Amino acid sequence: MSNSKQSTQTGRILIIALLGLAALCALCMLFFAMFGIFRDGGSTQTIDVGETVADPRSAVLTLAYSPEKAGLITPMVEEFNAQKLRTPDREAMEVRLVEMAPDLMVQEALGDSPGFQALSPDASLWLDQMDQRWAELHRQDAGDVAPRRIADSARYAVSPIVIAVWPEIADQLGANAGPIGWSELQQRAASDRNFRWSHASTSYASGMLATLAEFYAGAGKTRGLTEDDVLAQETLDYVRDIERTVSFYGENEATAMRRMAEEGRSFLDALIVQEALVVQHNRAGNDPLVAIYPHEGALWEDHPLALLDDPGVTDNQRRTFLAFSEFLRAPEQQKQILDLGYRPADLSIPIDFAGSPISPAYGANPAEPQTTLQMPGPSVIQVVQNAWQYTKRPSNIYLVVDTSGSMEGEKIENMRSALHAFVGGIQGVQDRVGFIEFAGSVYNIIPPESLDDAHRSALTNAIDALYAGGDTALLDGVRAAYVRLQRQPDPESINAIVVMTDGRENASSTDLGELVGDIRSGNESGVPVVIFAIAYGDDADYDMLNVLAQSSGGQVRQGDTDSIRELYRLLSQYF
């Protein structure tokens, strides 16, 4: 055979082989498409067995944000995505949002596979803590180098922490006579048992920053707060005197401000929040609030945008992060941020012009705060968080749990998990937790005791032993808890009942009207008891639970099998 004929035959064989390979690939692609292995336009490739493989070219950035900034971040993301930007390799840039509490952001970001690549908590203090904890976890692997969890960050909005009060409360505190601070708030609350004020738990920036400001005031400093300052007995006593007048704590600013708008003066007289939420509240046409800037000094929520330093973050996701960061800090968006009640991170943008939302017309003062406190380092913040467990107001809590027949199966399993989350969320040994079950009658009453290891174990065992059966004596269960809290009055503590039911009252000897009357009169002349109620599922009597909660200044929340554990985790932050 000649060389030319041999070459031609070899070429034909190669072409046939390539065509066969192409046909085989086409059949594989068809097979994969039939079983959903490839998905057009998505950022992941989903395999039929449930495994998810990240697309290394993805430019879709998942951003976790804290609840109070939903009205800020959502329109910004929508506007950014509407630009339909693309990376150099033509991948579509997109930001997707997931709402998440800051403490959960930190917890998930410290894990191996967080469900987001970027985050925007309410303050950068969580980023500093995240880096510190990440370094503690991974320093040994990195030798002497302290690894960081945050690759890049930038702030795009700021807002000072203020005391939001009704106008008449501001007058009573002496707003027209001189500056107001933490001491004036404490003195008013200590002298008037009907005065109610609150701040969020230290799991949220408003609560953490308010607590830091109290420690600064107690130490008599405006900068350079140290661990020794925090642990000085004089400082601890000062903060404890303030904290012991708190009505109850809370989960976040957004929830508290919603209740301020809905319930008005019957909810609270004063609330610690960021200035922006006061402005938004007033611009929405609600009964107006006034922002008081503590004369001892204020700290700020600085609303950072941060990117995780994670091998799972693609180059294109980094490009999306940078593009979105530049977008938020552009002059046009900074002016929009101001219009939403936040102070822009761009200091060249004025905030004191005619028509500015940062104005007395909306309860704010652009000339305040006069003193800005220095943010301490993460180690000092950690000591403050630990010291808060000593200084905060202690609690006496009864968990009142429905174990009627309708709770059988998945419901009671989820209830066990939720109750464990609640007990685990109460960290202070000074807090006392009790337990009551109800079905056709009230039984298994465990009196409140300090949550030391022994009592925590006893509660855990009681929760594990729950079983379902019988009717629903809801009112008898609530009365049993209420009477026991009144028998051993403890006005120095937050006295609370956390009650849950999935059904309707059908077995109690207690009358609803009489119980509500007792609660209201007891709150006026005896020991105030606040009731937090959870309507578990669609069959629960929400209206009855709402009457019980409102009679005590508490609240009712709707839960289901997917949300019940998170609800109990959030409620644990009220104590």
357 and 283 Cβ atoms separated by less than 8 Å: yes
Counting every residue, how long is the chain? 575
Please state which of the ranges 9-13, 80-84, 174-178 shows the lowest mean pLDDT. Answer: 9-13
312 and 113 Cβ atoms separated by less than 8 Å: yes
CB within 8 Å of 492: residues ≥ 6 apart: 244, 393, 394
Please state which of the ranges 27-31, 320-324, 470-474 shows the lowest mean pLDDT. Answer: 27-31
Q: What percent of the chain has pLDDT over 90?
A: 85
**pLDDT score at 38:** 31
> Tokens 């609600």 appear where?
286
Find the helix packing angle between 233-243 and 205-219, rounded to 10°: 130
Q: Is the pLDDT of residue 552 over 70?
A: yes
**pLDDT score at 14:** 36
**pLDDT score at 25:** 40
Question: Which range, 40-49, 170-179, 387-396, is most confident?
Answer: 387-396
CB within 8 Å of 79: residues ≥ 6 apart: 327, 333
Indicate the pairing of strand 60-65 with strand 494-501.
unpaired
**pLDDT score at 523:** 86
Which candidate, 81, 143, 150, 83, places its Cα nearest to that of 114? 150
The CA distance from 541 to 500, in Å, is 10
> Tokens 């010291």 appear where?
387
Residue 235: pLDDT band (50, 70, 90) is very high
> Tokens 């290891």 appear where?
453
**pLDDT score at 304:** 98
Three-class DSSP category at 374: coil
Three-class DSSP category at 361: helix
Q: Is the pLDDT of residue 404 over 60?
A: yes
34 phi and psi angles, rounded to 5 deg: -60, -35
Q: What is the DSSP code string of 191-234?
A: H-TT--EE---TTSHHHHHHHHHHHHHHHT-SS---HHHHH-HH
**pLDDT score at 31:** 33
**pLDDT score at 329:** 98
CB within 8 Å of 281: residues ≥ 6 apart: 164, 257, 260, 261, 288, 289, 363
Three-class DSSP category at 244: coil
pLDDT for 172-193, tens place per residue?
999 888 899 999 999 999 999 8
Q: Name the strand (E) or helix (H) holding 545.
A: helix 542-552
Q: Is the pLDDT of residue 11 over 90?
A: no
Q: Is the pLDDT of residue 12 over 80?
A: no
**pLDDT score at 143:** 60
Q: Is the pLDDT of residue 548 over 90?
A: yes
Decide yes or no: CATH 3.30.565.10 for domain 394-574: no
Q: Give the pTM.
A: 0.88
pLDDT for 288-297, tens place per residue?
999 999 999 9
Q: Is the pLDDT of residue 226 over 90?
A: yes
**pLDDT score at 29:** 39
**pLDDT score at 51:** 35
Q: What angle do CA 550, 194, 519 make, to 5 degrees?
A: 40
Quickly list H helices, 363-511. 378-391, 410-425, 453-464, 474-487
CATH architecture of 159-301+355-389: 3-Layer(aba) Sandwich (3.40)
**pLDDT score at 524:** 83
pLDDT for 418-455, tens place per residue?
999 999 999 878 999 999 999 999 999 999 999 999 99
Residue 142: pLDDT band (50, 70, 90) is low
338 and 243 Cβ atoms separated by less than 8 Å: no
268 and 198 Cβ atoms separated by less than 8 Å: yes
> Tokens 């467990």 appear where?
389
Name the burial class of residue 172, with classes exposed (0-12), middle (13-18) and buried (19+) by CB atoms within 10 angstroms of its CB.
middle
The neighbouring-strand residues paired with 128 are none
Q: Is the pLDDT of residue 558 over 60?
A: yes
The CA distance from 160 to 327, in Å, is 23
The CA distance from 435 to 479, in Å, is 13
231 and 387 Cβ atoms separated by less than 8 Å: yes
The CA distance from 377 to 349, in Å, is 29
Please state which of the ranges 64-73, 144-153, 192-201, 500-509 shows the lowest mean pLDDT. Answer: 144-153
230 phi and psi angles, rounded to 5 deg: -65, -40
Looking at CATH, the fold of the domain delimited by 54-157+303-344 is given as D-Maltodextrin-Binding Protein; domain 2 (3.40.190)
**pLDDT score at 80:** 98
Q: Is the pLDDT of residue 33 over 50?
A: no
Which candidate, 80, 78, 166, 152, places its Cα nearest to that of 119? 152
Domain residues of the chain, as ranges? 54-157+303-344, 159-301+355-389, 394-574
Q: Judge if 54-157+303-344 and 159-301+355-389 fold alike in CATH terms.
A: yes
Compute the average pLDDT of residues 549-566. 95
The CA distance from 65 to 98, in Å, is 6
Q: What percent of the chain has pLDDT over 70?
A: 90
pLDDT for 457-495, tens place per residue?
999 999 999 999 999 999 999 999 999 999 989 999 999
CB within 8 Å of 226: residues ≥ 6 apart: 376, 380
